[in-house]
A and B are shown apart, each in its own frame.
Chain A
């Protein structure tokens, strides 16, 4: 196939993935697969207590154990380990405890590392872990978020309060809307609810793994991370190692979902151990360790008030959050609730909005980004409240939403939270979803089951959503006190053979960037898809980048790739004109060739690349390469949106729920590869449904994680999830030339409230008003019992 023969544009085509070949044949390069000469292995000694003072550590027996090279405690590395970074101090007076990789004096959650064994094999290291004798003096623990907010028990002895920071946005003060107190006072109805966002665990399938090779001129770290570039910078800052002496590689990475958006104690420890030993060192966590000591997500108490007039026009929304930081502030722990602050008004035209968030420490694993990060929490809250308001006003939930949402001809729209939504069409997405769902028929079936008092009742759950994606305009991040920008970097090189190398700073861990970026570049440079190679995930190859999170890769990273490709065309044009002895103004670039307008004289990009390589005949002053680089900083976020509908069956005898039908219609803007988009939506739905029905990180009162393995932390398998019916509508984003909006988090955001609204809709006539997530059969059944005994409406 030649470039000129290609007529179908790559963008929009469901290209099969380049990533698959090695993954389906077992030729994978996950970090734990790596073996280096002389490599040593680590095992961690972790605190069984949630809060304790370390009074003594005896490592002598462990050191004497066969195959053990060394045992390090916090005291041993106190002078070099620094404190793990928090890159998002949301207020100038934010409080945070020091966060050593190996605890020195005090542990603040169960699972914190107190010592590390370095041994010849994993087995030898694990055996020796049991021989490390740590004396603890137990301290009082505070596990409950609302109790922690009272400061009766302190999570850290070094802090005077469990409050880390309070962050406020008020539309009256910001000038984006009216004062909330007046708005609520002037409402016909005010609905007040407290909702709970349970604590979740990202539960990526590949446990985190790190290999550090200290031999040679640089220290090289392979890590199962989403953020090789940020990790390198943060390690340099934390440990005082010159950045240029560190190389970080993220090889095949087995999922992240925000859970690998972190600078971890284990990464620091592995580096320190390797540096001490002068030998390569590997650490791979067990799943139990991953669940216990990897960061968690969500964990908020949402105290909400929404006001409206009798006709259903919302007058204002008041949001007061308690956000559980856990024991420490990780990389962006404190900022996660703030990412939600701009989304509580969602797709609606609320005239007034107040948001305040109190970040609170507890003696649990710290929270941080998990798929959606702040935005699922916000969407859940507002979509649950819209349903509650609809019930209060006796309106159809879709009708109430439509009454309040921004109409398609009202874009661009300045929201009460201070964002400018560029485009969207909520009517179109909703109409399509309603049609695919068979909304009226299911409402009729619901009525039939109610009238017949059937044991299995039916409910319809509605959720619309929008989110801010394409993180992020650097200036906006600066205004929110985030410690970095939101740009992305790319390089494009045309090789002498005509093959194209694309280097992206946005490294993937399952998303399919290699395929999508190849499609972008194939179209732009007019070269075959197969001739494009995408390189990423190694700071020595991809020197600059801000990595992958926040549905940013295509709308920011993809734009950088296109900008770099355009620069290559500009460079090549000068040379093409020289080679064809034509004026640059007379050239046009189509299908990978420069043609002199009105003639059949043309030269292909590959021919130019070869001429550049030989450099025998270049114009004066033109450098002999077809390389370029570009950095793209978005001017605005992008705002994907969608409408999700769930038909939920509730077995009133057992409390068991079943997803009878799930329909979602998402508008993610222009789509480069519909197959990849579909995959992202499916996976997002699964995780959002899992929050609604299955998953919760549960601690006992003493501070032990009860859901410490996959036996109790219930990640759903294939029979536990429904068949999804998905479709799309499309409005172009204007914040990037591609018109893409982002899709990585969409499914997760809307599905959770759709499922819970559906369950409540099925049993609300029986008197049930709320069920905490996850909506387990036991909780649903108890809610039904309670409604019955308190005289719920029959």
Chain B
């Protein structure tokens, strides 16, 4: 319940934060970057993480909020889930992210927890990574050498591991608009506030009575979020029928390596992925 002792710094600018990170690295100090803290603080309370320095991004201006950038929305890394779930720009252009954000944990956690924090934490069962992966977003990282941009496809590298290097900070995420696409986030849990057992994010473009293009993200089907490429390929050009969509989504378990735990074994999760993918796509196209 009580973390190990640590030093705390709340820089006012990104530059100041980067300076603190590089100094800590030089001093050999274990440093953690604190965003909303809704995953980090519980882990520190259980003493599963005991950094010697915590750098709190909470006092840096300009890291929170959603701005319209033409073909994309630029979302500040410190934007709380609650804002993601209620922001009109997100609702209009990225309803998938709006819907997924509304399923994260519980209302109190959504008030504090941040979009960027959840992405950098990269819990395979977290609800933001798979939808963001499906959108093909670009991650903007600030580091000692300046700004670096990473494609979503390269961002999630393993269990709780991302492309964010030591000394770097995720400052924003540029997400292409999917205005007019059908979308749905289908989440499966045993109790409401649980992490996803499996979830499926679906973005579907319907054109001329058929599916023109689909982008499908899978939550908790491997150590990282995955694109269900087999499903995406099968959906492209598929007619808008339950049968066709169900058949296409039978590929959802391909290439996945889900864990087995109290909530289900890998075989069950692979099965769930198919069922949930079907439901997500059907909901996305309004069937």
Contact = CB atoms under 8 A, between A and B. Distances in A.
Co-assembled chains A and B: yes
Interface of A: 122-123, 126-127, 130, 286, 288, 653-656, 694, 698, 706-707, 709, 711-712, 714-720, 776-778, 781-782
B190 A776 contact: yes
6 contacts: A123-B2, A286-B1, A654-B276, A694-B191, A711-B195, A714-B190
Given A654-B272, A720-B191, 4 more contacts: A711-B194, A718-B192, A776-B262, A778-B263
B275 interface: yes
Name which of A706, A707, A715, A778 has the most chain B CB atoms within 10 A of its CB: A778
Contact of A782 (B193, B268, B275, B276): B268
A555 B188 CA distance: 45
A720 B272 contact: no
B264 A778 contact: yes
Interface in B172-215: 188, 190-195, 197
- B contact face: mostly helix, strand, loop, or mixed: loop
B280 to A, nearest CB: 13
Given A130-B47, A781-B271, A716 B191 contact: yes
Contacts of B2: 122-123, 126
Nearest to A288: B46
Size bin of chain B's contact surface: 20 to 34
Going nearest first, the 9 A-B pairs with the smallest beta carbon separation are A778-B264, A719-B192, A286-B1, A720-B191, A123-B2, A714-B191, A778-B268, A653-B275, A126-B2
Contacts of A653: 275
A781 B262 contact: no
Contacts of B188: 654, 656, 777
B221 to A, nearest CB: 15
A122 B190 CA distance: 35
A778 B192 contact: no
B287 interface: no
B5 A776 contact: no
B241 to A, nearest CB: 17
Interface in B88-131: none
B190 A706 contact: no
B154 interface: no
B131 to A, nearest CB: 21
Contacts, number: 54
Contacts of B197: 777
B129 to A, nearest CB: 19
Given A654-B275, A714-B190, A776-B190, A127 B4 contact: yes
A694 B193 contact: no
B133 to A, nearest CB: 23
Contacts of A122: 1-2
B16 interface: no
Nearest to A126: B2
B265 interface: yes
A565 B196 CA distance: 57
A127 B5 contact: yes
Name which of B190, B272, B275 has the most chain A CB atoms within 10 A of its CB: B190
A655 B197 CA distance: 13
Contact of B262 (A127, A288, A712, A719): A712
Contacts of B47: 130
A777 B1 contact: no
Contacts of A126: 1-2
A701 to B, nearest CB: 14
Interface string B258-277: 00001111001001100110
B194 A714 contact: yes
B262 to A, nearest CB: 6
A286 B188 CA distance: 29
A175 B262 CA distance: 47
Contacts of A654: 188, 272, 275-276
B106 to A, nearest CB: 8
Interface in B42-60: 46-47
B192 A694 contact: no
Given A127-B4, A288-B46, A720 B268 contact: no
Nearest to A713: B262
A706 B262 contact: yes
